Amino acid sequence: MVRWTKERPASRLALLLLLAMIAAACGGDTTDDTTATTAAGETTTTAGPDETTTTAGPVEETTTTAGEEPVERASITFALTNQRAPQYYSYYLAQELGFFDEEGLDVEIVIVQGSSAAVQQIIAGNVDIGHPSAPATAQAVSQGNCLKQFYSYSHQNVFGLATPADSDIQSIADLAGTTVGVSEPGGGEVPLVRAILASAGLAEGTDYQIQGIGEGGGLTLQALERGDAQSYSSSVFDVASIEAAGMPLRQIMPEEFLYFPSVAQVATCEAFDANKDVFARFARAVTKATVWTEGNEEAALEIIKGVEPELFEDEALGIAFWEATQQMNAFPANLEGALYGAHNREGWELFVDFASQGTEEEGALNADAVDLDALLTDEILEAANDFDQDAVRAAAAAYAG
């Protein structure tokens, strides 16, 4: 799906106004469709993982200048699991600040409904790169799909498990006989929830039920108030939105799950092997945006506010999302000094060992089918970090808006 053309190398660091305007209602009804609007105003829809997206794509031209080597320009379709700009700030900043353009990339960002949907779209070939959570990636690999995780974006577990603050539920074992609310049945948190409850001897369908109640906000709040579910597991951002809507929550997720692997850049093995240079350029643009934010976090936040102003209408909620992301993206102690995008192999090993407990019917992973040496690759990390980081930080510090 990666499309190529020859173009003169980009040399500017300026605001790029080619960000795709993508609509995805947080906490709204879930459908099987994936819809995106390109910068040119084109709309594409896929009815499911077995259908291939067809789009005119960006205009690609061959341009050369005397004395310059032409560079192959590429177009990439990239799937995020929600539109939340503070959570995925490095991608939106790479678009807004022109880092994708500098790398010779035209990137179309599409929104899909959750991590399981992202994995489905990757496997179906509808997107070049996806950004699923680790449980969804591992589940797909355990079922025989060949995937490569080539750049880890966050390092703390993106999912929480909480109950209303006044609930009698104090531990995982107390969830026996209850309904656990999740974002939607295909959400990336579902395999993790099943594994956590299995560790307490609880089996889905016998000891507890799982029910989709939305991705935070008013609808999820109403479901919890009505008692449709007695606990809620989704991303930490969805949990934060419930609290912002007026219901204090209490986390019951055990601490040992904090550094389970989180969200990352993932592609099929075939796509990765065929496009390593392109994917390295994509990852380098994202790394530049991350480093730029380190140089001027205040300016980065202001840009993100402009990307998704509706979210920041509730300023406290938007800032809470931003701060949660900074915490999630911080390296754990065992990765101190590592390259941007490095994988927490230790966290992955703990996760696979834990998530493979129980039977496959209970949602357990087939650990024998999850080969971390095959899944996790460092092949492009050096290239993704190969730029003058001090110069990027200095440019950020001098940024005047």
**159-257 has the same fold as 3-156+261-397:** yes
316 CB contacts (<8 Å, ≥6 apart)? 244
Question: For the whole prediction, is pTM greater than 0.85?
Answer: no
**376: nearest Cα among 154, 124, 151:** 151
Higher pLDDT, 145 or 30: 145
* Selected residue with higher pLDDT from 67 and 401: 401
pLDDT at position 158? 81
Contact 316, 324 (CB under 8 A): no
Going along 101-252, which residue ranges are E strands?
Answer: 105-111, 129-130, 147-152, 159-164, 179-182, 209-212, 231-235, 249-251
CATH topology of domain 159-257: D-Maltodextrin-Binding Protein; domain 2 (3.40.190)
**In the prediction, which pLDDT does 3 show?**
57
CA–CA distance, 195 with 208 (Å, rounded to integer):
13
- The percent of residues in the chain predicted with pLDDT above 90, rounded, is 61
> Residue 97: pLDDT above 90?
yes
Dist. CA 119–CA 76, nearest whole Å: 16
SS3 category, 79? strand
Q: What is the pLDDT of residues 30-87, one digit of tens each?
A: 334 443 433 333 333 333 444 433 333 333 443 333 444 566 899 999 999 988 899 9
- Residue 292 has what pLDDT? 98
Contact assessment for residue 216 and residue 324, using Cβ atoms and an 8 Å cutoff: no
Greatest Cα pair distance, the chain, in angstroms, is 74
Residue 23 has a pLDDT of: 30
What pLDDT does 70 receive? 60
CA distance 56 to 242: 39
Pick the CATH number of 3-156+261-397 from 3.20.20.70, 3.30.160.100, 3.40.50.1100, 3.40.190.10: 3.40.190.10
Q: What is the pLDDT of residue 67?
A: 47
Neighbouring CB atoms inside 10 A of 229's CB total 21
> Where are the domains positioned within the chain?
3-156+261-397, 159-257
Quote the DSSP letter at residue 84. Answer: -
pLDDT of residue 170: 94
**DSSP 8-class letter at 74:** E
What is the reported pLDDT for 191? 79
